[in-house]
Amino acid sequence: MRDMLGRESAVSVPEARERMTRHVIAGEPPSVLTTLDKAYQRILSEDVFSPEDLPGFSRSTVDGFAVTSSDTFGATEGLPAYLNVSHEILMGEEPSFRLLKGTASKIATGGMLPQGADAVVMLEHAQYADGGLIEVLKPVAPRENVISAGEDMKKGEVLLRKGHQLRSQDIAALAGVGIEEVKVYEKPKVSIILTGDEIVPLGRAVRPGQVRDMNSFTLAGLIRKNGGIPVKKGICKDVYEEIRNVVRESLDDSDMVLITGGSSVGTKDMTAEIIEGLGSPGVLFHGVTLKPGKPTIGAVVDGTPVFGLPGHPAAVAVCFEVFILPVLRMLTGREEKEYQGQKRIRVRLARNISSSVGREEHVRIALEERDNELWAVPVLGKSGLIRTLVKADGTIVIPAPVRGLEEGEMVDVVLF
Amino acid sequence: MRDMLGRESAVSVPEARERMTRHVIAGEPPSVLTTLDKAYQRILSEDVFSPEDLPGFSRSTVDGFAVTSSDTFGATEGLPAYLNVSHEILMGEEPSFRLLKGTASKIATGGMLPQGADAVVMLEHAQYADGGLIEVLKPVAPRENVISAGEDMKKGEVLLRKGHQLRSQDIAALAGVGIEEVKVYEKPKVSIILTGDEIVPLGRAVRPGQVRDMNSFTLAGLIRKNGGIPVKKGICKDVYEEIRNVVRESLDDSDMVLITGGSSVGTKDMTAEIIEGLGSPGVLFHGVTLKPGKPTIGAVVDGTPVFGLPGHPAAVAVCFEVFILPVLRMLTGREEKEYQGQKRIRVRLARNISSSVGREEHVRIALEERDNELWAVPVLGKSGLIRTLVKADGTIVIPAPVRGLEEGEMVDVVLF
């Protein structure tokens, strides 16, 4: 839609998002070597192959007796197989002997099978008899109660794929095959520029008419939580040249640029104008059918995403969720599956919520337990109030075509 | 249940858990002051009160004209109210004048209302007329388009509660009222003691019969993820005195002690015996109807929780989830609501799983997309294989009384 002057009016959320992802150039991020103790949640920048077999030898998975399985075939409690216990295998040692037919070796969980042995009889299925013999009461199949050499990982096998985000068990597996360092993607840097003559940094006294910066804290936390590095660029006065210089510098030294505030009429247009002058394609949308967050600016400058965010605290949080997060994820290099996104729960709505058709609404809600069931209670209040975010446990999204939601309806809550 | 020698056999998971929580003495953790940039995800150790009103003055939430609302009552497009624009309010400045009846002041979003003004007419609902006048086309109610002084936070109001885990928006709110440091609980220290003659630390060559430590990496990652500080105490040989000394030292300098491995028959009993000798009540269970994880030892020594964990990688992960995590949460001081636990999704099961009645089974599953739907595919393999954890995306729990699950059934997956 365009207004009478030919300017485009607000675009839909999906359209705005699509324009961003189409123009952002998310090249492969640079790699960096990291040790395992710093690798948690980092994203692999190359496939990792196992340099060796894991385990390197056949191991017992139980406490018992290493045997030749064929020696136990047909054994029962009534007619046990008798085996001569020739050796005891020490943990961490390579058995220096070969197991002969008709003999067994005492072995503990994790012990190395001697040559000639191909299975382990559990302690519970054997009993000692006279003359250094054991009675085996139950047969074992070949490889029963054994982890064979290379059964966990084979040398040369792909252990983990490029783009995978490392979890605790992945790091354990890397350690298990002796890998001490991995190549991961560098985290994307996201510049946060605050604008507004009324904004005062933390630690400075506020005079009447001034307010303290809150948005840089919300944004920095969310950026860090989602795998980026926030770079605070301070607070700009509402002066064209000043803002322009900081935006230009930020385009040079970061992977995404966020400009928040600029709440005065003049500044709103100023932000868009500054972005337009710095590269192409420039502003992709200016105004979106989203509540809160309508005046958001989305832009790409020579491949780098730039957002102009409204100053209201709740609008900043919603814009992060809706626009910034999908772009940030592109920049991290993570191969993400759909279910890996936000934590959601499905609960019952505690009261009617009306919504305008044609506008996607994000409603902050608090979870309340009533009769052993969780209910989503809308947190009322202007989007300029940080308390609406502090009192809330998550948000529900009312899509643009929906007129509203009814009390008692089941809703999906995206948890903070 | 007790065996013929009067020893207790495996206890159920709920019973084992209940014994632990009954005997762990989770006193209030010590507090530490932290600056806001380090406060993310930390847990408040005291209620935080707002030291001032937020905002400190009445602000406009829109671009428009500050007015006396009664001057606009009855205004329509056909019969507008005419007001004389006396001043323009500068951002970040305290207006030096008092708004007179019949006049309006230009104001931007976030601007401070002058004395005498009680509402703001949106730019869209006014138009300029001759002689420095504006026509107001729509009435505004008192406080319309205004955030009043103290509307977001009142001085002395409880901003955040003791036990709350700080999120991005909470830190923003603290910054908003000028709080630069908060008191948070110190993170609980969790000692990790590895035992086993066959275990070799990362960075050392492995000889036949030896394997590298993996469990300390799994545990350290999970401890850190859940708000604790892992303290690796190295690898002990299977020698009573050696293990005993490290456990005793760990009881002194940490809030929880985990002893993993000790896979040889002798050591299993040794761990329990060592714990018994160090304080009361000592071992609370030794063996639990859980798969994997049956040989787990749970103990409390003079208030401090101690676990003896089986050496199998998958069993370690399950024991963490089932036993260690609930205790760790008690130690963090976090007031937790049920929904804040693990991330879960509900999907369809891709094949039958059989399970023994009387045993809680934790089955590792991978998520696979088929026809636009996610399915849970069990990851087969012995619990001694780390690959079963690496290939998996989460676990499903089959409670003790259930015989098994059927293909196509909806199941809850706890995601890693």
Q: For A160, name the nearest residue in chain B, comparing CA atoms only.
A: B390
Q: What confidence tier does A286 reach under pLDDT thresholds 50, 70, 90? A: very high
Q: Do domains B33-52+160-185 and B342-415 have the same CATH topology?
A: no
- Is the whole model's pTM more than 0.90, yes or no? yes
Integer Cα distance of A257 and A245 in angstroms: 13
B367/A56 touch (CB, cutoff 8 Å), yes or no: no
**pLDDT of the residue at A238:** 87
Class (C level, CATH) for B342-415: mainly beta
A172/B217 touch (CB, cutoff 8 Å), yes or no: yes
| pLDDT reading at B9 higher than 90 | no
Report strand pairing: A103-107 vs A64-67. Answer: antiparallel
> For the residues B340-367, what does the mean pLDDT come to?
93
Decide if A266 contacts B91 (C-beta within 8 A): no
Choose the closest CB to A264 out of B91, B95, B169: B91
Helix (H, G, I), strand (E, B) or coil at A22: helix
Q: How many CB pairs under 8 A join A and B?
A: 265
Integer Cα distance of B52 and A79 in angstroms: 86
B176/A386 touch (CB, cutoff 8 Å), yes or no: yes
Which tens digits make up the pLDDT trace of B337-353? 877 778 889 999 999 99
* Chain B contact for A412 (CB, 8 A cutoff): no
Q: What is the CATH number of domain B33-52+160-185?
A: 3.90.105.10
Integer Cα distance of B176 and B189 in angstroms: 32
Q: Which of A90, A151, A168 to mutate to test the interface with B (most CBs of B within 10 A)?
A: A168
Integer Cα distance of B415 and B345 in angstroms: 7
Helix (H, G, I), strand (E, B) or coil at A87: strand
**pLDDT of the residue at A2:** 55
Helix (H, G, I), strand (E, B) or coil at A10: coil
**pLDDT of the residue at A336:** 82
* Chain A contact for B35 (CB, 8 A cutoff): no
Query: Which has more pLDDT, A339 or A121?
Result: A121
Which tens digits make up the pLDDT trace of B279-314? 999 999 999 999 999 999 999 999 999 999 988 999
Q: Which amino acid is at B243?
A: I
Choose the closest CB to A91 out of B111, B264, B337: B264
Closest among A199, A202, A335 to B178, alpha carbons compared = A202
* Chain B contact for A373 (CB, 8 A cutoff): no
Closest among B43, B38, B330 to B185, alpha carbons compared = B43
Choose the closest CB to A265 out of B108, B265, B374: B108
**pLDDT of the residue at A217:** 97
Task: Find chain B residues with C-beta within 8 A of A203's C-beta.
Answer: 180
* Chain A contact for B403 (CB, 8 A cutoff): no
A387/B170 touch (CB, cutoff 8 Å), yes or no: no
Class (C level, CATH) for A59-147: mainly beta
Integer Cα distance of A385 and A315 in angstroms: 10
> For the residues B53-76, what does the mean pLDDT come to?
96
Which tens digits make up the pLDDT trace of A62-94? 999 999 999 999 999 999 999 999 999 999 999
B384/A61 touch (CB, cutoff 8 Å), yes or no: yes
Residues 265-304 of A with CB under 8 A from B: 265
**pLDDT of the residue at B124:** 93
Class (C level, CATH) for A13-28+187-338: alpha beta
Task: Find chain A residues with C-beta within 8 A of B196's C-beta.
Answer: 91-92, 110
CA distance B169 to chain A (A): 5
Class (C level, CATH) for A31-54+152-185: alpha beta
> For the residues B242-266, what does the mean pLDDT come to?
88
The pLDDT > 70 percentage for chain B reads 96
Task: Find chain A residues with C-beta within 8 A of B109's C-beta.
Answer: 263-264, 311
CA distance A309 to chain B (A): 14
Choose the closest CB to A57 out of B167, B176, B208: B208
A226 token code pair: 């989602």
* Chain B contact for A53 (CB, 8 A cutoff): no
A214/B172 touch (CB, cutoff 8 Å), yes or no: yes
> For the residues A272-280, what does the mean pLDDT come to?
94
The pLDDT > 90 percentage for chain B reads 87
The residue ranges of every structural domain in chain B are 13-28+187-338, 33-52+160-185, 59-147, 342-415
Integer Cα distance of B304 and B309 in angstroms: 16
Task: Find chain A residues with C-beta within 8 A of B215's C-beta.
Answer: 172
A313/B172 touch (CB, cutoff 8 Å), yes or no: yes
A167/B196 touch (CB, cutoff 8 Å), yes or no: no
Report strand pairing: B158-160 vs B48-49. Answer: antiparallel
B238/A207 touch (CB, cutoff 8 Å), yes or no: no
Task: Find chain A residues with C-beta within 8 A of B384's C-beta.
Answer: 59, 61, 147, 152
